[in-house]
A and B are shown apart, each in its own frame.
Chain A
């Protein structure tokens, strides 16, 4: 099975917080998150490998994430703003030294009203 993300869609109001979930491909231990908007395109949020954050994009501290021992990852956005409305994509990648594999999830569409 491919990369799965939940929920598919959700609607929140300003000031609320949200948690998004991603399950990577079996055997993949690297998970990245991207925000996609019509104006800014795809922007890197953060990357996790073996439960450790490797890199973080240029987003405010309201955006956070974590990875669990089974490689599943969550990202959290607190104090939601209208500008956080976007498609949030999870990417599952193979380990260094293995044949290069990278798979995108279907995304979670977040609407902030």
Chain B
């Protein structure tokens, strides 16, 4: 069964410092990976998908199949980045158009002013 591991429950960085939120997965094929974010008192929302290869709010994530990782990075943290970040995996064999996701347990990022 697939699994997503986010080794850090809490991460604190100073404003302007680089941020890296770690995500490792176990899956025997080619999964689809996502990052979700939950800001204080807001709903969980999609941040980015690996297949889009996009940068959202300055965040990027590269899928490393050799290391089975999908770390989220931002060169300069901002106070508004403080939130809980979840890494998630979609099994492409769960069905065409299926959105079944396996989530990591999340990392709470605090950006210190």
Could you tell me the distance between the alpha carbons of A26 and B52 in the complex, rounded to whole angstroms? 24
- Residue in A closest to B45 when the chains form the complex, CB atoms: A104
Chain B, interface size category, equals: 20 to 34
> What is the interface residue range for chain A against chain B?
20 to 34
Within 8 A of B (CB), among A70-113: 89, 91, 93, 95-96, 100, 102-107
**Of B88, B95, B104, B106, which one neighbours A55 at CB under 8 angstroms?**
B95
- CB-CB under 8 A for A102 and B100, given A41-B105, A54-B95, A55-B94: no
Which among A30, A44, A103 is the interface contact of B101 at CB below 8 angstroms?
A44
| B57 located at the interface, meaning its Cβ lies under 8 Å from any Cβ of chain A in the complex | no
Shortest C-beta distance, A32 to chain B (Å), equals 6
List 6 A-B pairs, minimum CB-CB distance, nearest first.
A96-B97, A42-B103, A41-B105, A104-B44, A93-B99, A104-B43
A-side residues, CB < 8 A to B, are 2, 30, 32, 34, 41-44, 47, 49, 54-55, 57, 89, 91, 93, 95-96, 100, 102-107
23 contacts between A and B (CB under 8 A): A32-B100, A34-B101, A34-B103, A41-B86, A41-B103, A41-B106, A43-B103, A44-B100, A44-B101, A44-B102, A47-B99, A47-B100, A49-B97, A54-B98, A57-B100, A89-B44, A96-B97, A100-B49, A103-B43, A103-B45, A104-B44, A105-B43, A107-B43
